[in-house]
Structure 1
Amino acid sequence: MSITSKRFAAVVVGLGMVGLSACGSSDTDQASGGGSKTVTLVSHNSWAVSKDVLAAFEKESGYQVKVLEDGDAGQAVNKAILTKDNPQGDVFFGVDNTLLSRALDNGLFQSYEAKGSDLILPEYRVDQEKHRVTPVDTGDICVNYDKAYFSEHKLTPPESLDDLIEPQYKDLLVTENASTSSPGLGFLLGTAAKYGDEGWQDYWKKLKANGVKVVDGWEQAYNEEFSGSAGGRKAGADRPLVVSYASSPPAEVIYADPRPETAPTGVATGTCFRQVEYAGLLSNAKNPEGGKALLDFLLTKKFQDDMPLNMFVYPVREGAQVPEEFVKYGPQAKDPQTMDPAKIADNRDDWVKSWTSLVLK
């Protein structure tokens, strides 16, 4: 799940959660052609877009966008599956490569090839025969570290997954529950990609013995437990290592007042797992034409250029702009762990059950 401006603004600026404008006319409002003027986007709680960019789409398309946010990515996907026969909206955004097979196998989406799909970078394209989902963004789930802690303790920050089980890092790492959190699941899959179908369990036994702490979700891990975040520093957090995103350090800089010259946090680049997020036209959508227009919008250069500093993710469209802050403070990992969606589909549920039994009991 993306790291959004709403989360960091809430913690760093102290203004609370920033609501997204995006509610237009009611669903009963009719366009001249007899269809609804309102198109509804269902998402996890990390969706964000600049008001002027959204307003331009609404003006050009004639549709008004209503957004329904529904918790963490896993929670949102599960609810969307349960309500697929009478969906809450027209488009779902935020299913990632760790959960994609669950959505596709349950018939969550109908086919639609969005305009601009030919401009998506090839490494992010999936489901090319049926076009049930459209890639929208990508990012790296990585261990972040608190620079001040490691400097004060004259300790070299970890660089790899292997480092995390070394005794000098005992009781320093906090991660999210793999059964309830998208970054937690991504971190688990990263270890499976690194150590293999059997070896990842031995790795987690060592990580558990080395004092890893597990909490329910990213909000708690990053903003309450991690000593390097603005929220964690304020709360007196004592874990200088956290599973988060490669884009977390630039977010810490951008939302600090005044802005520091360097990011207070860093990324252990040898711990990263590549995450890709998708959107799709929901089966039984009440306004499929509006949903198609919205999917087209998500691939426009205007949206893809706007997205990084709103959701702290990287664009997937060729030629889209990457903010200078990302290049300086949160570049993508050069060699992240990845896994074929089919392998995730075949193993995810069993791995999560094994992980739960091994780590939480």
Structure 2
Amino acid sequence: MRARIHSNGHLIGIAAVALLASGCSLVSSENDGEPEATDKTVTLVAHESFALPDELVAAFEKESGYTLEISKLEDAGALTNQLVLTKDDPVGDVVFGVDNSFATRAVDEGVFASYAPKLPAGAGKFELEGDDDDALTPIDNGNVCVNVDDAWFRKQGIPAPTSLADLTEPAYKDLFVIPGASTSSPGLAFLLATIEEYGDEWPTYWEDLVANGAKVVKGWSDAYFTDFTFSGGDRPIVVSYDSSPAFTLNKAGTKSTTSALLDNCFEQVEYAGVLRGDEDHETNVAGAEAVIDWLLSPEVQAALAPSMYVFPVADGVELPAEWATFAKRPQGTEQVAPADIASERKAWLEEWTEIISR
């Protein structure tokens, strides 16, 4: 998700200890019992911002009998590229973090084995359209939105932008930073949002953005934690998430210093999948399925918001109290059909690359 914001680790630890003390089950009964001796390690491949409390990982290992190794690559875009390049000799057994902007590429390349776990209530609406072979399981969701540093704009006495169109205006020259669409899932999500908003005129919009000094960087972490003014950078407009303002609270926790523009967001869903391998490079399928069951468990779904600043796919999960006020969700989002993304992604990215390289 994306690279993702990490915060409130001490709160996670407290919550996780409480869960352990209650004896809650973290994996489904389908995976009860000890795994085979030769398959006691399962490797989860994820993007760089995957984070769950150590206590939840320890509980999974104790109950399942597996040792969980977590291998982090970069953003979900780079992660997907790596999965495709290594599909015959996978870099792990199970993956988390492939999102709906890149998912069709990995599915079409045959990266995943089929697995259809029992989904919690509400998760079904996040399944990948056209995934008839059950290659991917939805785990979390969020919306990629333009974020603005309201405190910076107030200090400068400049009205903050309120729309995509505003970002091409001279008042916002050299103020916008965007993660790259070819290397970053939030970056691609933002590109897709502009394609949906402007249709065939999207290249003109991007030409105007570039002419107005928009800066394109490799990934979301670079944009948010290096260039965004909240983090000490010099650009007060950034592509991030609808949940990000819940991270940028003042010391009293009563006000956010940033806000998300909610009119042109792109819904992002992150998935998990069992890596297929081949007869010479078999993966730990049983272990991979146990990990996916664990990611869908009530305990992990409850930990997603405070640890990775994403929304769970399960209904009825209690979110951090401040989210009701500061993690406002859009009433509607820009939508591009997965089939269209699959057929047009390469051409769109080639044209986008040409525009930002001029």
Provide the residue aligned with 2:237 in structure 1.
241
What 5-or-longer segments of structure 1 have no aligned partner?
Answer: 11-30
Structure 1 runs of 4+ off > 3 angstroms?
Answer: 2-6, 31-35, 123-128
Q: Is the 8 A contact 1:117 1:134 kept in 2?
A: no
TM-score using structure 1 length: 0.86
Task: Tell me if 1:337 matches 2:334.
Answer: yes
1:180 Cα deviation from its structure 2 partner = 1.6
- The SS at the match of 2:341 is helix
Q: Which amino acid aligns with 2:275?
A: L
Cα gap change, 1:201 to 1:276, in 2 (>3 Å): same
Kindly indicate whether residue 197 of structure 2 is the aligned counterpart of residue 204 of structure 1. no
Task: Measure how far apart 1:173 and its partner are.
Answer: 0.9
Higher mean Cα deviation, 183-192 or 258-267?
258-267
Structure 1 segment 48-67 matched on structure 2, within 5 A = 48-67=51-70
Q: Alignment identity in percent?
A: 42
Aligned to 1:21: none
Match of 2:306 among 306, 309, 318: 309
Cα distance in structure 2, aligned partners of 1:350 and 1:117: 37
Distance 1:209 1:32 in 2: 58
2: CA distance, partners of 1:75 / 1:163: 30
Q: Does 1:152 align with 2:152?
A: no
SS at match of 1:155: coil
Match of residue 258, structure 2, among 260, 265, 286: 265
Quote the offset at 1:135 in angstroms.
Answer: 0.5
Residue 283 of structure 2 is aligned with which of 286, 289, 306? 286
Offset of 1:168 from its aligned partner?
A: 2.1
Q: Deviations over 1:213-249 (max 9, x none)?
A: 112222221112111x2x32xxxx2211111112222
1:80 aligns with 2:73: no
User: Structure 2 counterpart of 1:326, which letter?
Assistant: W
1:2 matched to which residue of 2?
2
Q: In 1, distance between residues paired with 2:206 and 2:35?
A: 59
CA 123–206 in structure 1, closer or farther in 2 if over 3 Å, else same: same
Alpha-carbon shift at residue 304 of structure 1 (Å):
0.6
Query: What one-letter code is carried by the residue in structure 1 that aligns with 2:316?
Result: G
Alignment partner for residue 94 of structure 2, among 91, 95, 113?
A: 91
Amino acid at match of 1:246: D
Do the aligned residues in 1 keep the contact of 2:120 with 2:315 (CA within 8 Å)? no
How far 1:252 moved relative to its partner?
A: 2.5
Alignment partner of 2:174: what SS? coil
Q: Are 1:322 and 2:319 an aligned pair?
A: yes
Given the superposition, is the C-alpha separation of residues 341 and 174 from structure 1 closer, same or farther in structure 2, using an over 3 Å criterion?
Answer: same
The offset of 1:119, in angstroms, is 4.6
Cα deviation 1:114-145 (Å, max 9, x = unaligned)? 13266514244544531110011111111111
What is the one-letter code of the residue matched to 1:304? Q
Residues 118-137 of structure 1: pairs in structure 2 closer than 5 A: 119-127=122-130, 129-137=132-140
Instruction: In structure 2, give the amino acid aligned to 1:243.
Output: V
Instruction: Report the AA paired with residue 211 of structure 1.
Output: G
Name the aligned partner's letter for residue 334 of structure 2: Q
Distance 1:206 1:5, change over 3 A: closer
1:277 and 2:270 aligned: yes
Query: Matched residue of 2:52: which SS?
Result: coil
Are 1:214 and 2:216 counterparts? yes
1:34 and 1:57 mapped to 2: Cα distance? 17
Q: 1:8-19 residue pairs with structure 2 within 5 A?
A: none
Q: CA deviation at 1:34?
A: 4.0
- Post-superposition offset of 1:175: 0.9
TM-score, structure 2 as length reference: 0.86
CA contact (8 A) 2:275 2:283 kept: no
Give, as a single letter, the amino acid of the residue that structure 1 aligns with 2:114.
S
Pairing 1:251–2:254 present: no
Task: Say whether residues 1:358 and 2:355 are aligned partners.
Answer: yes
Q: Aligned equivalents of 1:145 and 1:352: distance in 2?
A: 26
2-side partners of 1:128 and 1:98: how far apart?
14
- 1:4-55 per-residue CA deviation (whole Å, 9 max, x = no partner) reads 454x689xxxxxxxxxxxxxxxxxxxx5644411111011111111122222
Say whether residues 1:181 and 2:180 are aligned partners: no
Q: CA 1:155/1:85 → structure 2, altered by over 3 Å: closer, same or farther?
A: same
Contact 2:2/2:185, CA 8 A, preserved across alignment: no
Provide the C-alpha distance between the structure 1 equivalents of 2:127 and 2:150, rounded to a whole number of angstroms. Answer: 32
Residues in 2 aligned to 1:3 and 1:73: alpha-carbon distance in whole angstroms: 7
Q: Is the 8 A contact 1:127 1:133 kept in 2?
A: no
- CA distance in 1 between counterparts of 2:139 and 2:264 reads 23
| CA RMSD across the alignment | 2.1
Q: Are the structure 2 counterparts of residues 142 and 37 from structure 1 closer, same or farther at C-alpha, using a change threshold of 3 Å?
A: same
Contact 2:305 2:319 in 1 (8 A): yes
Across the two proteins, how many residue pairs are aligned to each other?
A: 331
> What is the DSSP-based 3-state SS (H/G/I as helix, E as strand, rest coil) of the residue aligned with 2:83?
helix
C-alpha distance in structure 2 between counterparts of 1:159 and 1:324, whole Å = 26
Query: What is the DSSP-based 3-state SS (H/G/I as helix, E as strand, rest coil) of the residue aligned with 1:307?
Result: helix
Q: Distance in 1 between matches of 2:151 and 2:312?
A: 31
